Amino acid sequence: MHTPIALLLELGVILTVLSLLGTVARRFALSPVPLYLVAGLALGDGGIAPVPAAREFVDTGAAIGVILLLLVLGLDFTVREFTVILRRHRSSSAADLVLNATPGAVAGWLLGLDAGGILALAGATYVSSSGIIARLLGDLRRLGNRETPAVLSVLVVEDFVMAAYLPLLAVVASGGTWWQALLAVAAAMTAIAAAIAVSWHWGHHVGRILSHPEPEQVLLRVLGITLIVSALAETIHVSAAVGAFLIGLALTGAAADRARAALSPLRDLFAAVFFLALGLSVEPGDLLPMLPAATALAVVTAATKLAAGWYAAGREGAGRRGRLRAGTALIARGEFSVVIIGLATPAQGRLTALITTYVMLLAVCGPVLTRFAPTRPAARPPASRNRATSRAPEGVSDARPLAAPPRRGSGRGAAGPDSPSRAAGR
């Protein structure tokens, strides 16, 4: 079997560069995500050192990377836990939708775009990047923080909204009729409801089937089933990430622990490739003409995301610091916006350039703002105060994790160093 030398060389250079950037980021206590994105700009078409031979591998690896990020994130929760969280944050999710889709829709109208263009720009400004934010929360060790359930609830609702939005956008952008749009949305919602029902009622059977004492078997079984479910989700225009997240929710107890241990190194590798691919998908020369408009839109929607996160974290009882961390965490945009570009803008070059520039600005600036959100404790709460059931007073550190209530039979207390239940005991 002949192995292309150029492919091996370029992949070796890519992984070495990512390793060096990761080392630099860790040295300064930063997330490596912004550096990976900038490296993608440098290595993409029009950059200083293109890597054409490795492009196909990187694009495929990026799709696997976002699937793994959401799969491992789902392993930290159960369907029942997340159902409770989602019910609590219905108003937060509604506020997120109104605050962040409206600026994109207004901007599209002012730019004179058609219905498909307005809908596309509204979606791009609305949806945050689940992949980037999931990685950030792990890198910054915030999965156990008081405000984190609010952040994750908003993200998951956004992903579910995308399950209805993407098929709707595909029909509208292609000039389809209203009944075709309704049919596409109904099919997507039916598939999501069926997947949730399976996870709720038969999740323990899924865990029994996928669990095995050998890590190799766990890796092959869980990853194989996840990729199949993700492919089926994409077939009906539901995000592959949503399918992967549901598989993670379905696994509980020891099965979730084994899956997390087996998948985490693979997730880290392909997550780095995913962030690199976002940068590779952009030509630097396309960014400059739309930079003023994209910057203005980015500033407005960064503020609206901050407001949405502030409100959502307040419903979890977080103080000012926690609300600010939640708001900055939601600023990053990424993979869904790239999908929107592919669905809606093949014949609208100006819109493509605007969304691309906007996404790159927030994909780089969002993680930086998240990293420098305040984390230093201001004071310790009184010893007699029950932090698990009472509201944190303003000024009290809410960077400390909440004590998680005992979960009968969940088995996730030994989930790992970054899981909510483990972090709560620190």
- Give the Å distances, CA to CA, from 18 to 5, 58, 267, 276: 20, 13, 15, 9
What is residue 401's three-state secondary structure? strand
Is 422 part of a structural domain of the chain? no
Is 379 part of a structural domain of the chain? no
Is 398 part of a structural domain of the chain? no
Domain count along the chain: 1
- Model pLDDT for residues 44-80, shown as the tens digit of each residue: 776 788 888 888 889 899 889 888 887 887 787 776 7
- Model pLDDT for residues 280-323, shown as the tens digit of each residue: 877 777 778 888 999 999 999 999 999 999 999 998 888 899 99
Q: Which residues of 318-353 are buried (b: 16+ CB within 10 A; e: fewer)?
A: bbbbbbbbbbbbbbbbbbbbbbbbebbbeebeebbb
How confident is the model over 2-24, as a mean pLDDT?
88
Give me the torsion for CA of 337, 340, 344, 347, rounded to 10°. 50
Is 401 part of a structural domain of the chain? no
Is 137 part of a structural domain of the chain? yes
Residue 424, pLDDT score: 37
Beta-bridge mates of residue 401 = 145
| Cα radius of gyration rounded to whole Å, the chain | 21
Is 383 part of a structural domain of the chain? no
Q: Using CA atoms, how far apart are residues 165 and 192, in angstroms rounded to an integer?
A: 13
Instruction: Give yes or no for residue 222 having a pLDDT over 70.
Output: yes
Residue 416's pLDDT band, with cuts at 50, 70 and 90, is very low
- Residue with the bigger pLDDT between 405 and 52: it is 52
Full residue range of the structural domain in which residue 26 is found: 8-374
Is 421 part of a structural domain of the chain? no
- Model pLDDT for residues 169-193, shown as the tens digit of each residue: 877 877 777 777 788 778 777 776 7
Task: Please tell me whether the overall predicted TM-score, pTM, comes out greater than 0.85 for this model.
Answer: no
Residue from 49, 63, 47 nearest 16 by CA: 49
Residue 70, pLDDT score: 79
**Cβ contact 337:127 at 8 Å:** yes
- Model pLDDT for residues 335-364, shown as the tens digit of each residue: 777 778 767 655 466 787 888 889 888 988
CA 192 to chain centre: 18
Residue 401's pLDDT band, with cuts at 50, 70 and 90, is very low
- Residue with the bigger pLDDT between 316 and 240: it is 316
Is 231 part of a structural domain of the chain? yes
Looking at residue 219, which CATH number applies to its domain? 1.20.1530.20
